[in-house]
Amino acid sequence: MRYAHTLLFDCPECNLPIAVSRICNEKNLEGVAGKPVRIKCSYCEHTSKRFGWTAKAHWVSDWDLEVPVARDKQSQPISRECTDGT
Ligand SMILES: [Zn+2]
């Protein structure tokens, strides 16, 4: 069992919400809170890097990873770890 962490940030440019998810072995929030997350606003396309603990909201869902991780059709590969690979 893994855990999907969803972080909700506010765009520093237009103040609209940006949701980011990470898959993690750990359920506790510390697993992602201290790591930098690259966020891209889908409203104004502003990109920035924020730490997990600056998120406005953070929730965790149990995530069953028995099937292979789906390939993302968009440009970014899916990270199986808590970081975004940078
Ligand atoms: Zn924005």
Domain boundaries, the chain: 2-63
> What is the 9 CA–ligand 1 centroid distance (Å)?
10
Q: In this predicted model, what pLDDT tens digit does every residue of 4-17 receive, in sequence order?
A: 999 999 999 999 99
pLDDT for 31: 79
> What is the 18 CA–ligand 1 centroid distance (Å)?
8
Rg (CA), the chain: 13
Ion ligand 1: residue ranges with CB closer than 5 A: 11, 13-14, 41, 43-44, 46
For residue 5, how many other CB atoms are within 10 A of its CB?
A: 26
Band of the pLDDT at 20, cuts 50, 70, 90?
Answer: very high
pLDDT for 46: 97
Q: In this predicted model, what pLDDT tens digit does every residue of 26-56 receive, in sequence order?
A: 898 887 888 899 999 999 999 999 999 999 9
pLDDT for 71: 60
CB 42 within 8 A of CB 48: no
